[in-house]
Amino acid sequence: MFKFKLGDTFNSEFILSKDIYDGFISYFIGEELPVKEIVILSQDIKFKNPVYLNDILQLNVSVFEIYESVNVINFKFKFINQKNITAAKGKFQIKKLI
């Protein structure tokens, strides 16, 4: 579980863009996974509800498939705001380069 808070640098009508969600996912993959020699094979995100200034997002990630023969792992993720409303969800696939 990781939490992110949008600061005062954005307009109060700001809605979180796909690029920022991608940045949060990239941070999780690059900094929080124990394996660093990986490549992202695919990523899919579906937007469910808008996110505004001062919302707090929690990122929940889980593994749902592992293919050991080809070193591929599939993850599901969900961004939830402080009201426990799903803002976005999706999946990504990585390959370990070992």
- Report the mean per-residue pLDDT for the chain: 85
Predicted confidence band of residue 21 (pLDDT cuts 50, 70, 90): confident
Residue 81 makes CB contacts below 8 A (sequence gap 6+) with 49, 51, 55, 56, 57, 58, 87
The predicted pLDDT at position 23 comes to 86
Distances, alpha carbon 88 to alpha carbons 11, 46, 61, 71, in Å: 20, 6, 12, 27
55: confidence class by pLDDT, cuts 50, 70, 90: confident
- Residue 16 pLDDT level (bands cut at 50, 70, 90): low
| All structural domains of the chain | 2-96 (3.10.129.10)
CA distances from 42 to 58, 61, 85 (A): 22, 15, 25
Evaluate if residue 1 carries a pLDDT over 80: no
